[in-house]
Amino acid sequence: MSADPIKLLTDIATVHGRERGDKVAVHFEGRDLTYAELDRRSDRVAGLLQQAGVKPGDRVAWLGRPSEAWYEIFFGVAKARACFAPINSRLAVPEIAFILKDSAANVFFVTPEFFDAAVTVAEHAGRPIQVIAVGGDHPTFAGYAALRDAAPPPKLEPPKAEDDVLQLYTSGTTGLPKGVRLSNANYSAFLALRHLIEGFSYDADDTVLILMPMFHVAGTNISFSGMAAGGRIVLQAEFSPPAVLKAFGDERVNHVFLAPVMINALLQTPGVEQADFSSLKTVSYGASPISEAVLAKATEVFGCGFIQFYGMTETTGAGTTLAPGEHRGELLRSCGRPWATLETRIADEDGNTLGAGEIGEIEIRGPIVMAGYWNRPEATAETIRPDGWLRTGDAGFMDENGFFFVHDRVKDMIVSGGENVYPAEVENAILGCPGVADAAVIGVPDDKWGEAVKAIVVKAAGQDPDPAAIIAWARERIAGYKAPKSVDFIDALPRNPSGKVLRRELRKPYWEGRDRKVG
């Protein structure tokens, strides 16, 4: 295999723009963006940003529905040696406001669906912010296309390995989202390692369907992998099972990443038996639990190789993988073996490596480990040991053949439909609801979402709160997907001597008989 010319993410636009300029890079809702256009437009975005005063290291925020413009702006930000910070569009307005303020971004790209939210959050940022409207007109926001086309040529400097290029926010156990700093060095390692993963080194003739959100590491990474190969990205901004099934045949899709909830939804969609999957080479999956029954049925229906990815935003999405040929028997419960050249181990609390079959925390070390959390040195130190091992927060074990199995969570994070939910944040939203004396939040098995958020509530004396009212109270304060889907009542919450709620005890009856605690 000849040397890959794509060493940095910015090379995707510049190299392919020069060498295969007429090739379609992104297809979205009937529109095609070629690599030459991507290169030219991202140059203009870099010029636009520099004209707006954006300097190397500055954050540039995005909120909204993805389109081909997302890619133009991302590569333009990277060329300007700034850092792109897409915000989870499913969050509540107060959460979006916190992230925009925390990022220190002074340029904010927004699509029409979020114009009203943008006005509110920009007002609370405490600094002047230039809001740019993407894909629609607004009476006070500048229009993206006009600004881009009128921008001066950029003054480009060679990107540096230590430059942060992407900042994805992940929720924290305190309820405050943390910005995961992913650098050029992280992504250089990712781009090189993808060639060593069976089924993941895509070809220039491949079409890759993007269904995961572009504020999620799966959405960005599968896009970057397809584009690094010079392939064609087909982007769908919303997950609509009938539209997805149609796209497989119409667009001759070769590769796709699906969260387990998406796989299950497709299997339940009328007409799935007649869908054309003949062009599919691989289905990658991860981000949340999947049942063996769903996985077995999906393998039969899709008729292609399946690849499981286990990783975190903090590891640039890399970690372990279960290759297509390993989807059999007991290994269906495994998250696979480490990516080539990465170190993965099971460790005890003190950082001692444990042997085969011993349960401890899964830890990962290598060049894909994040640069740290933005403005969170204490959280960074808690997550990355001094010797470079990143603590995933997941407990598990490794078998004698080097396959890793996730046993349960060290931390109490819930993964519902591929989204991370932290109990403390939900509990804070519930407490204060009339009739609620105390509350704990846990994840319980859910055939559709992998896990569902459940609130365990202690009633206030003489009160009889309605579960629907408690759920509605929470939904007013946090994103809908974080709010509890059900409420059970209990006389008192189990706690340890220091007062910490023993969520493991609360979870136990709901997970009884389940051999797969988490994906």
342 — phi, psi (to 5°)?
A: -90, 150
Query: What's the pLDDT at 422?
Result: 77
* 381 Cβ contact partners less than 8 Å away, ≥ 6 residues apart: none
Q: What structural domains and CATH numbers belong to the chain?
A: 1-24+34-159 (3.40.50.12780), 415-511 (3.30.300.30)
* CA gap 50, 80 in Å, rounded: 7
372 — phi, psi (to 5°)?
A: 140, 180
At 311, which helix (H) or strand (E)?
Answer: strand 305-311
Q: Does residue 394 have a pLDDT over 50?
A: yes
- 454 versus 395: which is more confidently predicted? 454
159 — phi, psi (to 5°)?
A: -60, 150
Query: What's the pLDDT at 326?
Result: 94
* 74 Cβ contact partners less than 8 Å away, ≥ 6 residues apart: 42, 84, 166
* CA gap 103, 125 in Å, rounded: 10
The C-alpha torsion from 184 through 187 and 193 to 195, rounded to 10°, is -110
Query: Hey, what are 322's tokens?
Result: 């279960």
Over range 263-272, report the average pLDDT: 91
Kindly report, residue by residue over 323-344, the tens digit of the pLDDT. 999 998 889 889 999 999 899 9
The three-state (H, E, C) secondary structure of 22-90, written as one string: CCEEEEECCEEEEHHHHHHHHHHHHHHHHHCCCCCCCEEEEECCCCHHHHHHHHHHHHCCCEEEECCCC
Task: For strands 178-183 and 164-170, give the pairing.
Answer: antiparallel
Over range 291-318, report the average pLDDT: 91
Residue 451 confidence class, pLDDT cut points 50, 70, 90: very high
* CA gap 82, 221 in Å, rounded: 19
Neighbours of 455 (CB within 10 A): 26
Closest by CA position to 61, among listed 42, 88, 39:
88
Greatest alpha-carbon pair distance for the chain in Å reads 74
Task: For strands 255-258 and 436-446, give the pairing.
Answer: unpaired
**70-79, 274-283, 358-367, 495-504: which has the minimum mean pLDDT?**
495-504
Over range 201-211, report the average pLDDT: 97
Mean pLDDT of the chain: 92
Entry pTM: 0.85
Query: Exposed/middle/buried for 109, CB within 10 Å: 0-12, 13-18, 19+?
Result: buried
Query: What's the pLDDT at 519?
Result: 42
Amino acid at 398: M
* 512 Cβ contact partners less than 8 Å away, ≥ 6 residues apart: none
**Sign of the CA dihedral running 71, 74, 78, 80:** positive
* CA gap 392, 45 in Å, rounded: 36
Amino acid at 406: V
How large is the angle between the packed helices 93-103 and 115-123, nearest 10 degrees? Answer: 60
